Structure 1
Amino acid sequence: MIKITRFFYIHLLVLPLIAVAFFTKSQMTFFIAYGVVLIHELCHLLAALCLNVKVYSIIVMPFGMTLRLDSSVMRSPKKEAAIALAGPLSNALMLLFGFCLFDVYAPSLNFYLFMVINGALLVLNLIPVPPLDGGRIVRAAVIHHAGLIPAAKITRRISYVFIGLICVMGVLLLILFRGNPSLIMIGAFLFYSLADEKKNSDILIMREMIYEKEKLKSDSLIPSKMICVHQNTPAKRILRKLNLSTFYIISIIDDNMRILRTVTESDFIRSVTAKGYGILSKDVV
């Protein structure tokens, strides 16, 4: 990585790509494509800064750019959806701007390239598959209604359906119209990304939730909620009810409705992390 500023980096493979672009006299195509992607990512960055979400870095990759946030799991589903939506919205606005200037620049090949790249980025990023913006928006919406851990599983199921459709469409286009394998390659990339994200996702989420004390220090106060659970309730069922925007106090009761113990969600998660995902609530200490 080449460090340009505190949070702006360029991947080393970008340099030979620039050299190839100049050698093949396609530098204008290269700069238009990267310009559109840069605006897309800068809109993500602007949305994150407006919502007081810390940004770790922007990295220029050989085939695009990526924005990395400080936290691997967004603590506010609404903020995650807003930040994710900012990118596709920028492409939609650039398309609208292009249509307004269509009569002036329509004969230009670069103008058509600008429009095609924006349209392709808009459609691609709205596919509901993480790490694309559409997947992040869907995940944020599901978190709001179902909780953090179920959201990860539901989003993966939705993603597999769309990845399957993309691959089927790619195969049909390849067979019927002798097209290029781009859709198949996109489907393979999304499947690989989803499989990589699935690894230890529940553990990652639980680790993020342990930082509630830090959240209390930074935000001064957050909503809290008390829930009562039977001692024989599987701990994983309780974890599905937790989310990052609320701090939970959990009372564990016996058959006679007496409180055996009361624990915070942080203590609850630490016990599950130490003893295993399949323990019962009575085993939490």
Structure 2
Amino acid sequence: MIRWRGILWSIHPLFVLVMLASVMTGYFVELLTLFGIVLVHELGHVIVARGYGWTIREVKLLPFGGVAEVEDSGGLPAKEEAAVVLAGPLQNVWMGAAAWGLGQLGWWNNEWASYVVQANIMIGVFNLLPILPLDGGKMLQVLLSRWLTYHQMLLWGARISLLLSAGMVLYAFLPIIKAGGTGIQLNLLAVGIFLFMTNWTYNRNIPYLFLRFLTSRAAASTRHIVRGVWAQPIVVSKRHTVTAALRLFKRDQYHLIVVMEERGRIVAVLPEQRLVNGFLEDGKPDRAVCDLFM
């Protein structure tokens, strides 16, 4: 692990295993090239994130990309996250194009240029798979947040990622099922298991991730109020629990909580900060919304 520009950079154990396998099989130069491609891919994310003022604590490098730990990730605007996500695969586009151009000019031999082009295509395309924590999985969540609540976005992002990573594991066994198969695709199996276990843990941590989202709402609410935005109302009954109302919050929206009786009479209108603060202060998930204004 090294610290550079205030960011802790580390190599995931899965990448270490790939390194050892490459040394044993004589593909060390190819490994260094792969490492360089992954590093530049991740630097693309970091540079754009820093441009938006994000605080990045740590970046873990994997054979197919990296995972960045960002402060206040629950309160980051969707548009900014989309730009940061796309910045990684865009690095693979220019690196692949540069390798192709160097091959065409004769400055690199065609075999090596072809390898670098294919490596960039592989890393870039693989990262666009809609599986967390890949870039495609993060972009999936950005798109889901346009239609779903934040809590639903977390749930469906995890479910889709679990389903697709399980499919990747099953696909790794496909060669031995076919007649004359060559055996299990070990690389794909290892990556599939890693992604499945990562998303299994992510799914279990959704309550914590949602709590982190709520703790970031104060800063987000202040930004909305200072800038001046349309408030999106959330209509609930007095019987609604605070937790149920909070799970109706959407990303990049400022909410007013309209508490209404069954006959349609408005009992109270609460700013979202009242709801969030009421939950964070006592942490009672089953507390009724009406307790906040009685």
- TM-score bracket, normalised by the shorter chain, equals 0.7 to 0.9
The total of aligned residue pairs comes to: 284
Letter in 2 for 1:127: L
Q: More displaced, 74-83 or 145-154?
A: 74-83
1:196 aligns with 2:204: no
Counterpart in 2 of 1:49? Answer: 50
Post-superposition offset of 1:261: 3.4
Counterpart in 2 of 1:141? Answer: 143
Of residues 105, 110, 125, the one that matches 2:127 is: 125
Counterpart in 1 of 2:227? Answer: 221
Letter in 1 for 2:215: I
Q: Percent identity?
A: 21
Query: Following the alignment from structure 2 to structure 1, what is the Cα–Cα distance between the partners of residues 27 and 227?
Result: 54
Of residues 264, 268, 272, the one that matches 1:261 is: 268
Query: Following the alignment from structure 2 to structure 1, what is the Cα–Cα distance between the partners of residues 274 and 94?
Result: 47
Deviations 1:88-112 (A, max 9, x none): 1221232233333343267455434
> Residue 256 of structure 2 aligns to a residue in which SS?
strand
* Alpha-carbon distance change, 161 to 212 in structure 1, aligned in 2, over 3 angstroms: closer
Query: TM-score, with normalisation over the residues of structure 1?
Result: 0.82
Counterpart in 2 of 1:178? Answer: 183
> Residue 146 of structure 1 aligns to a residue in which SS?
coil
Counterpart in 2 of 1:2? Answer: 2
Counterpart in 2 of 1:58? Answer: 59
> Residue 250 of structure 1 aligns to a residue in which SS?
strand
Query: Following the alignment from structure 1 to structure 2, what is the Cα–Cα distance between the partners of residues 279 and 111?
Result: 63
1:275 aligns with 2:284: yes
Of residues 244, 259, 262, the one that matches 1:252 is: 259
Deviations 1:56-108 (A, max 9, x none): 34345688644332223252112112211111122123223333334326745
Post-superposition offset of 1:20: 9.2
Query: Following the alignment from structure 2 to structure 1, what is the Cα–Cα distance between the partners of residues 12 and 161?
Result: 31
Contact 1:250 1:265 survives alignment (8 Å): yes
Deviations 1:106-134 (A, max 9, x none): 74554343223212211221111111100
Q: More displaced, 124-133 or 226-235?
A: 226-235
Structure 1 unaligned regions, length at least 5? none
Counterpart in 2 of 1:151? Answer: 153
Query: Following the alignment from structure 2 to structure 1, what is the Cα–Cα distance between the partners of residues 39 and 276?
Result: 39
Contact 1:229 1:253 survives alignment (8 Å): yes
Query: Following the alignment from structure 1 to structure 2, what is the Cα–Cα distance between the partners of residues 111 and 242?
Result: 49
Query: TM-score, with normalisation over the residues of structure 2?
Result: 0.80
Counterpart in 2 of 1:83? Answer: 84
Q: Over aligned residues, Cα RMSD in angstroms?
A: 3.3
Query: Following the alignment from structure 1 to structure 2, what is the Cα–Cα distance between the partners of residues 35 and 283?
Result: 57
Counterpart in 1 of 2:37? Answer: 36
Of residues 227, 237, 258, the one that matches 1:230 is: 237
Contact 2:65 2:123 survives alignment (8 Å): no
